[in-house]
Structure 1
Amino acid sequence: MAATASAPASPDRKPDTAARPAPRPAAPAPLTGGRLIIGTIALSLATFMNVLDSSIANVSIPAISGDLGVAPNQGTWVITSFAVANAISVPLTGWLTTRFGAVRLFITSILLFVLSSWLCGVAPNLEVLLAARILQGAVAGPMIPLSQSLLLSSYPPQKSTMALALWGMTTLVAPIMGPLLGGWISDNMTWPWIFYINIPVGLMAAYATWVIYRERETPTKLLPIDRIGLALLVIWVGSMQLMLDKGKELDWFHSTEIVVLTLVAVVGFLFFLIWESYEKHPIVDISLFKGRNFSAGVVAISVAYGLFFGNLVILPLWLQTIVGYTATDAGIVMAPVGIFAILLSPVIGRNLPRMDARWVATTAFITFGIVSLMRAGFTTQVDTRTLMIPTLIQGAAMAMFFIPLTSIILSGQPPEKIPAASGLSNFVRITFGAIGASISTTVWENRSALHHARLVEKVNPYDTAYLDQLNHLMQMGMSQTQATGVIERNLSLQASMLGANDIFWISGVLFFVLIGFVWLTKPAKGGGGGGADAAAGAH
């Protein structure tokens, strides 16, 4: 047979067969030309829409709560419900992809996301809105990891870092645009439009994805669902998310409810780990953590993202409550972080194959650390220029953060495991983001209270500086009560400023510590080569 004569991997050639692993289905050829451009834009749009929706509602909670006639703390469930459902569904990506196919699952997720966005916009009360947000979070789970794996399959292995760079730009810019766009829509339109804007974007992304990728469906296999693993996942993730969201409101471990939720989360997590380690068809592939690059890379990117996201929550609150900025102005001050992120991401992606990804990630952590320490020196009189400088520098660090670490995490994974690896790493990263936001706000409040107590100790009738300030204010026409109130207000602002400085200082130190985890990974061939290069052994 001609095929036998020309194919080096023929079954008749025993030595070759013995030396090679079992054959996998041939991966589709990389896209080229216009199809590559359209495919990249479609996948990036879907990712942008998803990430944007996780933060766009944050600044709209007062408007939503007022319109639906509920308290603002009840309105925060609009954020919580999405986060819980999203966190649970992300690690299911691997199983769902194997069962239904990556392209089919991705397009279905987009269309259901559009439908749930419309349901959010037309919701007549909080109960319907929460149900729609739960659906929205659940169907959004597979979109980010699948967009990542489909994009990697669209590019040749040597250009996979460029694919990750283009993909990373959307995940970098969307969290910054979310509060800015949400605030503008709430101020100038009505809050349902923060959900309606997803409809045209989602429909365009779904149609373009179907046109480009419908012939590139991944192989499917009928696997039994791990019902016990899924139940344990829902229990421990749901309990943990509720504990994080309600902790500050209920005074943390002074509340029986928080203690119970914490115990349920911890015990559920331990049972989940044990079950998934021995289950034949696990809902989450825990074995991925046996790879050094995957485990160390996930720790580095997740803890760093937790610090980054925690600061992202603190910064706008700090600007509005201490510096006196409006919500829109705070968003404008933070927006420049995307400038260098967008400009440098393609440069990093193009050159990463010729560099050691660990050095690029190290540079990012050093830059993040320096930026945090710069912010730790802010005062209540900080000017806009001083605010902008670290924000601009941080954009450069973001460009060097996601791309090399994602490349390290996915390097060496066979193509069929990339959706599971991407889903699991994104799940851990998202979880640490929620943890970081909760811890940051709690530590800020506690440190501010501590600084306030220390400052108040010095305010007494025997302190000359206090008496001078009191007399100065009374000479300006204030009563003693008014003057005392002004001094108390200034003390509170100063205490909050010092508390925020503590958060920034702690973050800076931890960024430097995380460099050690980067160097626990092995260098992958071609600077990481991304997950598309299965030959770049990471185990």
Structure 2
Amino acid sequence: MTPEMRGRILTGTCGVCAAWMVMMSTRFFALSLPDIEGVLGIGPDQGSWLAASYLAFEPVGVALGCWLAVIFSLRRVMLPAILLFVIASAIAAVTHDLTMMILARAGMGFAAGIIVPLAIITELRTFPPTWRALAIALYSSAATMAPQAAAPLDVWLVTRWGTPAIFWIAIPLGGIAFVCGYLGLWRERIRWLLFARADLRVVFAFSVGAILLGGGVSQGNRLHWSETPLTLFAVVTGIALLTGVLVLDGRRVVHPILMTRLLTRRNALLGALIAIPYQFASVLSGSLVPAFLADIPAYRPEQIAPALDAVFWPQALAYPVCVMALRYGWAEARTFLVLGFGLNALACLLDLDVTSDWIPGNFLAGQILQGIGLPWILLPLLMLFVGDVVPSEGLYAAAIFNVARSLAGTVATAWAATGLRLRAEGRYGELLTSSGLQPHRRMVAAWNGAGALPRTTPDPALLDHRARSVCGTLVRHQSVVIGFSTLLADLGLMLVVTCVIAACMPPAGADRPGEQS
């Protein structure tokens, strides 16, 4: 094996392991959050700050990581970020203090924001241009496959070693990524002149704006948005600061934190915008279905895992098909992009008839379609996006795409939580006030639940209390089910509209400058 080939293998392994470490750790935390709250002795309200701190600092890490990598080189930024993520994970594993856990989660979010965009640059530099589809597939597998693979692994880790194990698992993956990166990542000179000519005020404004926007959006549902002035202030101020950054970076800045002139190219602009509905599509299998199973049947992670496994295995076929078709020109990237969004819209349609009796097996068909559709969205989307970018713009382009992806993920999660809550609250009032003479078909489960009421009791007051409790629970379940169904209808409509937009995208490289990328 030649030294060049060995270096490529080490570099590619670094990027893949680092990206998988980040995405798996994110799913571990989401699945085991109630257990983590129990270990810390806190409730859901305080526990929400653990997720908010991660989401607030992730977009800051994305932009700053790419910005610093242009100055100090990818190697000098990637390796410390991997080390920071591992150290923060270790702190989270051993601490029992809420403040320290919030700081550790913020450190993990900041490091994750640095790692994810640099990982795709690592893969693109590892493979020749003819195998760009394979390079992107290895990277995007972390975003689509790692969260699903984490579900059964989370169950095994928690069962065998307890909740802290979900944080310790970052050490072996991070260790492999660090060693491979140390041996394989190329060494480059430091560009001090770029740092001297940078507009640090814009960098500071972006960091503050991203933190305020991410934190405000992630806490908005819990604080009921308009009912808490602090949430609105954070969101509005964050949007204002980020808008100002986009305007200021449009000037002739030597080293901008976001190279907004890239957005004048059609595929770069549409690619960043379509990253938003992609994040909404991934919410279906990543958040909505697990949340439904945890709320209605009250399932634990080990019972939810089969539903997530159904998304994982189809990707083992979907990725090779897409890579080979794009590599040899059998199909265009736009074709796969439209098919991917269409399959996700069909998955929403198959789940519209959900009832409170549904178990993971009922979601199987929709989850399989998502397992095929998600790779057929992200891989061709990135192919179209990078097709309009030359190598010297790679880090700037990665920053734009991943800032959009990170903020869109936060917004999509908040949309799912808020939308489900508002729809459920509305249906709950309707069901309580309805006469019941013409019940909705989803209310059949509520009528069947009448058998749960106690038939005899010596205390009429106790009988009334139990009856109200059981009826209230049944009605709440049905309101959540109906709210879940209407939310899927909205999501499916959004994905159908995105199919039309994706079909209108120009071919890859249509607006690329003369330099061969």
TM over 0.5: yes
Distance 1:131 1:330, change over 3 A: same
Cα contact 1:102–1:218 (8 A) shared by 2: no
Whether contact under 8 Å (1:142, 1:423) holds in the other structure is no
Q: Which residue of 2 aligns with 1:519?
A: 503
Q: Which residue of 1 aligns with 2:470?
A: 486
State the partner residue of 2:338. Answer: 362
Q: Secondary structure at the match of 2:516?
A: coil
SS in 2 for 1:378: coil
- Establish whether residue 443 from structure 1 lines up as the match of residue 414 from structure 2: no
Aligned: 1:305 with 2:275: no
Equivalent residue of 1:56, what SS?
A: helix
Shift of 1:362: 0.3
Counterpart pick for 1:233 among 206, 209, 213: 206
Distance 1:387 1:533, change over 3 A: farther
**Equivalent residue in structure 1 for 2:226, among 245, 249, 253:** 253
* Aligned with 2:193 (options 201, 222, 236): 222
Shift of residue 468 of structure 1? 8.5
Corresponding residue to 2:487 among 495, 499, 503: 503
Identify the range of structure 1 (236-245 vs 353-362) with the bigger mean alpha-carbon deviation. Answer: 236-245
Deviation at 1:81, TM superposition (A): 1.3
User: CA shift at 1:75, angstroms?
Assistant: 2.1
Q: Name the CA distance, whole Å, in 2 between partners of 1:121 and 1:348.
A: 39
Which whole-Å CA distance do the structure 2 matches of 1:387 and 1:405 have between them?
26
Q: Distance in 2 between matches of 1:514 and 1:385?
A: 28
Residue among 420, 425, 442 paired with 2:396: 420
Name 2:105's counterpart in structure 1. 133
Within the candidate set 180, 183, 195, 1:208 is matched to 180
CA-CA distance at 1:470 after TM superposition: 9.4
8 Å Cα contact 2:428-2:476 kept in structure 1: yes
Distance 2:82 2:41 in 1: 31
Structure 1 distance, partners of 2:304, 2:364, is 11
Q: Deviations over 1:366-416 (max 9, x none)?
A: 101000111112122235432211111211101211110001111131112
Shift in Å, 1:38:
4.3
Distance (whole Å) between structure 1 residues aligned to residue 358 and residue 449 of structure 2:
25
TM-score relative to the length of structure 2: 0.89
Cα distance in 2 for residues equivalent to 1:349 and 1:232: 40
- CA drift at 1:461: 10
User: CA deviation digits over 1:249-300, x for unaligned, max 9?
Assistant: 2221122222222321232222222222224432111111111110111111
1:139 Cα deviation after fit: 2.5
Cα distance in structure 2, aligned partners of 1:122 and 1:386: 39
1:493: Cα distance to partner? 1.1
Q: State the match for 2:310 in structure 1.
A: 336
- Tell me the amino acid that sits aligned with residue 207 of structure 1: V
- 2:15 aligns with 43
Report the Cα offset of residue 436 of structure 1. 0.6
| Matching residue's letter, 1:435 | V
CA distance in 2, matches of 1:332, 1:45: 24
Contact kept in structure 1, 2:265 and 2:388, CA below 8 Å: no
Question: What is the aligned partner in structure 1 of residue 41 from structure 2?
Answer: 69
Distance in 2 of aligned mates of 1:285 and 1:414: 13
Shift in CA distance, 532/162, structure 1 to aligned 2, threshold 3 Å: farther
Deviating beyond 6 angstroms after TM superposition, the runs of 4 or more aligned structure 1 residues are: 460-463, 465-475
Q: Is the 8 A contact 2:65 2:114 kept in 1?
A: yes
**Offset, 1:178:** 3.9
Question: Does the aligned pair in 2 maintain the 1:310–1:436 contact within 8 Å?
Answer: no
| C-alpha distance in 2 between matches for 1:156 and 1:273 | 33
Task: Tell me how far apart the structure 1 counterparts of residues 164 and 358 of structure 2 sit (CA, whole Å).
Answer: 36
**CA contact under 8 A between 2:82 and 2:115: conserved in structure 1?**
yes
Flag structure 2 segments of 5+ consecutive residues without an equivalent: 458-462
Task: For 2:318, give the aligned amino acid.
Answer: L
3-state SS of 2:255 partner: coil
SS at match of 1:142: helix
Which of 70, 79, 85 is matched with 2:51 structurally? 79
Taking a change above 3 Å as real, the CA distance of residues 141 and 395 of structure 1, as seen in their structure-2 partners, is same
Report Cα offsets for 1:496-527 as digits up to 9, x if no partner: 101000111111110010123213421126xx
Counterparts of 2:357 and 2:435, CA distance in 1: 21
Larger Rg: 1
Which of 481-490 and 366-375 deviates more? Answer: 481-490
Task: Tell me the residue number matched to 1:167.
Answer: 139
Contact 1:293–1:522 (8 Å) recurs in 2: yes
Residue matched to 2:460:
none
- Aligned position for 1:146: 118
Contact persistence 2:23–2:146 (CA under 8 A): yes
Residue in structure 1 matched with residue 361 of structure 2 by the alignment:
385
- Distance of aligned partners of 1:462 and 1:138 in 2 relative to their CA distance in 1, 3 Å threshold: closer
Q: How far apart, CA to CA, are the structure 2 residues paired with 1:520 and 1:271?
A: 30
Deviation at 1:130, TM superposition (A): 2.0
Cα 1:129–1:414 change in 2 (3 A) is same
Q: What is the CA distance between 1:219 and its match in structure 2?
A: 7.3
Preserved CA contact (<8 Å) 1:120 1:132: yes
Deviation track 1:445-481 (CA, whole Å, cap 9, x = no partner) reads 1111111222122247999x99997986669557454
Q: Aligned equivalents of 2:124 and 2:345: distance in 1?
A: 30
1:87/1:54 CA distance change after superposition, 3 Å: farther
Structure 2 equivalent of residue 11 of structure 1: none
Q: Deviations over 1:25-50 (max 9, x none)?
A: xxxxx997555444333321111001
Q: Do the aligned partners of residues 532 and 389 (structure 1) sit closer, same or farther apart at CA in structure 2, a change above 3 Å counting? A: farther
Residues 66, 118 of structure 2: 8 Å contact kept: no
Which amino acid in structure 2 is aligned with residue 535 of structure 1? Q
Query: Which sits farther off after the overlay, 74-83 or 357-366?
Result: 74-83
Q: Which runs of 5+ in 1 are unaligned?
A: 1-29
Amino acid at match of 1:90: V
Identity of aligned residues (%): 20
1:316 matched to which residue of 2?
290
The SS at the match of 2:147 is helix
Amino acid in the other structure paired with 2:236:
L
Residue 149 of structure 2: aligned partner: 177
1:94-123 Cα shifts (integer Å, max 9, x gaps): 321111111232222212222222222233
User: Partners in 1 of 2:514 and 2:358 — Cα distance?
Assistant: 47
- AA aligned to 1:202 is G
* Counterpart AA for 1:365: F
Quote the residue 2:69 is aligned against.
97
Q: Tell me the distance in 2 between the aligned counterparts of 1:508 and 1:91.
A: 31
1:277 match: secondary structure: coil
- CA distance change for structure 1 residues 214 and 532 in 2, over 3 Å: closer, same or farther? farther
Q: Which of 343, 350, 369 is the aligned partner of 1:374?
A: 350
Query: C-alpha separation between the residues in 2 aligned to 1:469 and 1:56?
Result: 36
